[in-house]
Amino acid sequence: MTENDQNPAGEAPESSKKEGVLYLGIDLGTSRTAVSASNGVRDGIASHVGYPRDVVSRKLLKKDVLFGEDALQHRLSLHFHTPLAKGVLKFTDEEGAEAEGDMRAARDLVKEIVRLAKPRKDELVYAVIGVPSEAGFKNKDAILQAARESVDSVMLCSEPFAVAYGQEMLDDVLVIDIGAGTVDLCRMHGTMPEEADQLTLETAGNFVDDRLCELIREKHPEAQFTARMAKGFKERFSSVADQMEPAVVEMPVNGKPTEFDVTDLIREACRSMVGPIVDGLHQLIATFDPEFQHRLRNRVLLAGGGSLIKGLDTAIEKQMAARLGGGTVIHVQEPVYGGAEGALKIAHDMPEDFWQELS
């Protein structure tokens, strides 16, 4: 067992710490942002930011900015922002007031997640932030700019690489990191992954939500619901298994609360991500050294919030058996914090002079 195994809260061994520095690993996600810190703090927040619309909402809310579920619950009184889309900052190719508002929200979101890590006033803050595998230069630069107001030194890494690093699985492993905006796949073979080793899919959690909305409208056109309601149904009952808990939900019909059985619809929507994932695995395996392809097939690491869908590992293995001749899927023990924990480990392992150069 390694020293990190003995510190499940993420606190680093004393020998790897520099006095007066708080190291952070941050997983900046479309739906949720998580942080693991070298002082043992782990926390997370839904990636929503809101600002009061007028003097009435400011008097009601008694805050200048709201975050997470607090912002979501009061969104009708707010200028409401979810500044990330498909795992990246969605405003980098836009101009105008909305883009400026999203950039402000991104800065405030990073500031809030750093605050939740509880840095002391006398500490420097060094952060590693996980981003999607194929995030472009412009987007990475925007993330760096958003972070630099809150930390003293910052670096970026791909989210699936951070997951693999945290698990100390750096050789002959295929990582699947399922978020709300993207599914990131990365093959690790003992070196830093290159562009050809990584793949980003958009058939992630939000894609499943959209598919579920379509299926509900088709089968129950009389039901009144929102995309957020459908997302809640999915998060409560998500499964790809043939046998799953009955998903009976309540939606209004002409204002009257009415029960609907959406079990089959949720199963079908969740299964819609399996095929594209196996397509991506197939691509990364088929283009790898043929002597080592069997190793990748049998070390597939499943991580991210989307990996919590019941039966997903078995469903991926079943399709891999049919298309690739077999495969073994391993679950990360703590999928919600896997990326943040890995990013924290990277932060610990970077030499001090490296952080000084980034400052």
Place of tokens 């997951």: 163
In this structure, the number of other CB atoms found within 10 A of the CB of residue 296 comes to 21
pLDDT band, very low/low/confident/very high, at 12 (cuts 50, 70, 90): very low
Once rounded to an integer, what is the mean pLDDT over residues 236-259? Answer: 95
Once rounded to an integer, what is the mean pLDDT over residues 310-332? Answer: 94
Structural domain boundaries of the chain? 14-165+337-358, 167-203+272-331, 221-269
Once rounded to an integer, what is the mean pLDDT over residues 316-344? Answer: 93
Structure confidence by residue, pLDDT tens digits, 66-78: 999 999 999 999 9
Q: Specify the pLDDT at position 91.
A: 56
Say if residues 128 and 346 touch (Cβ distance below 8 Å): yes
Q: What percent of the chain has pLDDT over 70?
A: 89
pTM for this structure?
0.83
Longest dimension (CA), the chain: 67
Q: Specify the pLDDT at position 30.
A: 85
Structure confidence by residue, pLDDT tens digits, 263-274: 999 999 999 999
Q: Specify the pLDDT at position 262.
A: 97
Once rounded to an integer, what is the mean pLDDT over residues 206-227? Answer: 96
Overall fold of domain 14-165+337-358: Nucleotidyltransferase; domain 5 (3.30.420)
Residue 96 has pLDDT above 60, yes or no: no
Say if residues 196 and 287 touch (Cβ distance below 8 Å): yes
Domains 14-165+337-358 and 167-203+272-331 alike in fold:
yes
Once rounded to an integer, what is the mean pLDDT over residues 47-54? Answer: 94
Q: Specify the pLDDT at position 9.
A: 42
Structure confidence by residue, pLDDT tens digits, 20-48: 899 999 998 888 999 999 999 999 999 99
Q: Specify the pLDDT at position 68.
A: 93
More confident residue, 132 or 141: 141
More confident residue, 95 or 127: 127
More confident residue, 248 or 352: 248
Q: What is the average pLDDT value for the chain, to the nearest integer? A: 88
pLDDT band, very low/low/confident/very high, at 344 (cuts 50, 70, 90): very high
Tokens read off for 355 = 């952080």
**Count of all residues that appear for the chain in the document:** 359
Residue 5 has pLDDT above 90, yes or no: no
Q: Of 3.30.300.30, 3.90.420.10, 3.30.420.40, 3.40.1110.10, which CATH number belongs to 167-203+272-331?
A: 3.30.420.40
Q: Specify the pLDDT at position 268.
A: 97
Once rounded to an integer, what is the mean pLDDT over residues 116-138? Answer: 85
Residue 284 has pLDDT above 80, yes or no: yes
Once rounded to an integer, what is the mean pLDDT over residues 315-336? Answer: 92
Contacts of residue 78, Cβ cutoff 8 Å, sequence gap at least 6: 50, 51, 52, 53, 57, 61, 66, 71
